[in-house]
Amino acid sequence: MLPDGLAEPAGLSRRQRRNRQKRQRQQEPSAGSDVERGLGPGPPDPPGAPDPPGPAEAPLEPRSGRSAALRARMEERLLGARFRYLNQQLYTGSSRDAAQLFRADPAAFHLYHRGFERQVRRWPERPVQRIVRYLRRRPASLVVADFGCGDCTLAASVKNQVHCFDLVPLSPRVTVCDMAKVPLAAESVDVAVFCLALMGTNLQEILGEANRVLKLGGTLMVAEVASRFEDTRAFLSAMTQLGFRTVSKDLSSSYFYVLEFAKTGPARPGSAPGLRLRPCLYKRR
């Protein structure tokens, strides 16, 4: 439809008339424009007037998944490097050195334990569960000493009285001490346990302490990383010099061995040259 006062030119076809009307509609002002409302551009702002408010600022985008993944990888590498350093200190120094290290920096032990748990979690079976099953088959009246108890999983899983010893208390059950000098009377326990805890260069001194606190005929359970045994036969032979007889050995796992000994008497004086275990050092990945 044409505006008032205008007539369509004669001789236009229907198609031409439709196109003409369409162009005229497009040229009309929009319903909400300043032209239609009779408004023109406003007067200029006076000098010093504040700027008109602009559109609301969009909130900052959350950190991208890629950035979060990069940070997680960096934290993982830092944790791994720190764990490897602490692990090397534990295996290449004495138990006294380890006690002094964590006494000066208890937070380092928590970091070490986190790294240790990450390593063991990859194994098809946790060695401590083997020890738990063993004790559950034995009388609950047996008194146990857990050397290097960690978070006291063993004590929490059995009915026995368990003395828990470690370098830092991850649980209220833990007595903090050097593993070569635990606060127990001689011949006061029935079972001594070392579950992935034979660290330090003074192994003979540590195992001699286990002999001291065990009753005659008492049991020594050792679960240790398989690759640490340089010569298993020589190790078992050295244990006889420390006053232990081999009861059983499970060498079937490629991850860890489980050894059971019985105390036959006090340790004999002199060195035990076959009592060697390789340091459990982890490669950088």
Share the mean pLDDT of the chain.
83
* CB 227 within 8 Å of CB 181: no
Residue appearing with tokens 């380890």: 98
Average pLDDT over residues 14-32: 65
* Pairing of the two strands 189-195 and 161-166: unpaired
Q: What is the residue extent of each domain of the chain?
A: 125-263
pLDDT at 130: 97
Hey, which CATH number is domain 125-263, 3.40.50.150, 3.40.50.2000, 3.40.50.300, 3.90.1150.10? 3.40.50.150
* Rounded distance between C-alpha atoms, residue 284 and residue 77, angstroms: 9
Residue appearing with tokens 């946790």: 126
pLDDT at 205: 96
Q: Which residue has the higher pLDDT, 52 or 218?
A: 218
Share of the chain above pLDDT 70, in %: 76
pLDDT at 46: 46
* Rounded distance between C-alpha atoms, residue 33 and residue 52, angstroms: 20
Q: 3-class SS at 158?
A: coil
pLDDT at 279: 87
Distances (CA, A) of 177 to 161, 165, 193: 19, 7, 16
Average pLDDT over residues 107-129: 88
Average pLDDT over residues 218-238: 96
Average pLDDT over residues 231-241: 97
Q: 3-class SS at 227?
A: helix
Q: Is the pLDDT confidence value at 8 over 80?
A: no
pLDDT at 154: 98
